[in-house]
Amino acid sequence: MRSRIFSLGFLSLLLTWLFPVSLPADDTNYQNYLVGDRAAGMGGAVAATTADLDACYYNPAGLADVSGSRVALSVSLYGIQSYRLKDGLGPGEDLKARQFETIPSTFGSILKASDDLALAFAVLTPDSLNSNISHSFERRPDRPGVERSDYYDATLDDSTLWIGPSLGWRAGERLKVGAGVYVVYRSLVDKQDWAYLYTTSDTREVVEVRTRVYNINYTNYGLLGMAGTQYELSEEFVLGAVVQTPTWNITGDGELLYAVSLGSPEDDQLIQAKNMKSRNNLPAKFSLGAAWRKAGLFTLEGNLSYHLPTSYQLLAGEDVWTGRPVTTELRRKGVVNFNLGGEYRLAGNYPLRAGIFTNLSSSPGIDESDPAGSQEKIDMYGVSFSVGNESEHTTISLGVNYVWGKGETVGIGEDFQPTVVDQRESHLFLFLSSAYIF
């Protein structure tokens, strides 16, 4: 789901029972939605031709081509995110949710310092999710004379911000170069609570109550750099290349609580870790873009990006009760994504944009022999469309992004053990952007 599933099976206490139901998270997919204005309409395919605040995220070299200084460029997403885990809460208990979310994906300003140099400062939101889920499955036969009712509540609030300056400089008649430095801030709160109520079939007398509680929260700060270039082979053909560094961890902390009581005292567990150290190591990324354009009429562009593999400890600390180490590990394999988009200008001032893109998972996949220690794997695909108006001093765009996908994740099986289940999800976003040029 949104492919940001966080599975507590990563805890290296070597206790395979320690896992939550997978909730949508952004840990293994990199293009859950499109950042920016023009990029959001063109399927993210702008590395070779971006020339506005989108350049801060896709290729800072494009800042050199902005038409003038601009302030208060804002892009907001308004969307519905849906997902379903078949048998995710147990046999016959599907986990389904539909959430409405508002995401301020891009905000910033650009100063055109000279004909060849532009400076920018941006606040970008490449990942965000806020989800609240409640499910109940009541009075189902469990054993002779006893019925079972299951109650599940979950809250997930996960957001990532990039904040920092960038610049673009025209180094020659055909060559532009650029660079940016960003503080990367991530905050996550994930709370999941289960209650299993057993009652007699005739009198509804409570026979037994079983519970499971999982809470985790952390924040961290990192730093990453980006450098890019755009080169005009001719008036019609343009190339772009971008290198993004892995994040360098600055600081971070977090807490974790897992408590389970499932009717057998020898199996009851309590793990609590405070003052943990947290990290968010985004891997290095390389992007290439090529575009064919006719000035003032149309642009066709394709981009390829490759995220390198990475593996690191997301959280590290120790159990306050036993002093034993508690760590959560995140593993990502290398992954290639593509973006393909086009733009056609009606009467010069009314751009129509459309695109397609992939959002493939970097997860190594589900290990069926040890599902609790695996990461969900959801491959996703997206389409985009927008229409805009550009005048001497203002720009405005209205568009839509739709992303969908399916794969496998971890759910609850018989006797509360982890099992592999199917997952589907989709996201429909409307976006609105505006800018003032002076």
Tokens of 187: 């905050």
Per-residue confidence (pLDDT) for residue 22, from 0 to 100: 56
CA atoms within 13 A on the CB side of 122: 33
By the 8 A CB rule, do 438 and 397 touch?
no
| pLDDT of amino acid 345 | 95
pLDDT digit of tens for each residue in the chain (438 aa)?
333 333 333 333 333 334 555 555 457 899 988 998 999 999 999 999 999 999 999 999 999 999 888 776 667 888 888 888 888 787 888 888 888 888 888 889 999 999 999 999 999 999 888 888 888 888 778 888 999 898 999 898 999 999 999 999 999 999 999 999 999 999 999 999 989 899 998 888 999 998 989 899 999 999 999 999 999 999 999 999 999 999 999 999 999 999 988 777 777 889 999 999 999 999 999 999 999 999 889 999 999 999 999 999 999 999 999 999 998 888 899 999 999 999 999 988 999 999 999 999 999 887 776 666 667 889 999 999 999 998 888 889 999 999 999 998 888 777 677 788 888 999 999 999 888 877
The alpha carbon of residue 413 and the mean position of all alpha carbons in its chain are separated, in whole angstroms, by 27
Q: Domains in the chain, start-ordered, CATH in brackets?
A: 8-437 (2.40.160.60)
C-beta neighbour count of 314 within 10 angstroms: 23
Output the furthest CA–CA distance in the chain (Å, rounded).
86
- The pLDDT, as a whole number, for residue 28 is 86
What burial class does residue 212 get, using C-beta atoms within 10 Å of its C-beta: 0-12 exposed, 13-18 middle, 19+ buried?
buried
Q: Which long-range contacts (CB under 8 A, 24 or more apart) does 313-317 make?
A: 313/279, 314/10, 314/218, 314/278, 314/279, 314/280, 315/216, 315/218, 315/254, 315/256, 315/273, 315/276, 315/277, 315/278, 315/279, 316/276, 316/277, 317/254, 317/256, 317/273, 317/274, 317/275, 317/276, 317/277
Give the pLDDT confidence score for residue 15 in this predicted structure. Answer: 34
Handedness of CA 106, 111, 112, 114 (dihedral sign): negative
Structure token pair of residue 282:
């985004």
